[in-house]
Amino acid sequence: MASINVKIFPEEKDAIVRVLQKHEEQTISVAAIANEADFNPNRTRFIVEELLDEGRIRKIPTKMFNARYIRYKYEVVQ
């Protein structure tokens, strides 16, 4: 199986964390995060996943419309 290696820079992670801190208690889509940080939404997904793996943020489900359509809020871990 093929793997995707995306080089993510610390400045990009910091930009995403700053956006998430502004919207700490709000449900927000990755596309909205990307728009505010001026990044591509696909790249933002990789950055968010890496931040989750590092334990710098938490992903909390807020709305579940069905099994595939779930909205989340993101909490920055201090």
pLDDT tens sequence across 14-24: 999 999 999 98
pLDDT digits (tens, 9 = 90+) for 43-72: 999 999 999 999 999 999 999 999 899 999
Looking at residue 78, its pLDDT comes to 78
CATH 1.10.1060.10 fits 10-76, yes or no: no
Judge residue 19's burial from the number of C-beta atoms within 10 Å of its C-beta, 0-12 exposed, 13-18 middle, 19 or more buried: buried
Question: What pLDDT was estimated at residue 6?
Answer: 84
Whole-structure pTM value: 0.88
Euclidean distance between CA atoms 60 and 66, whole angstroms: 16
What are the sequence ranges of the domains in the chain? 10-76
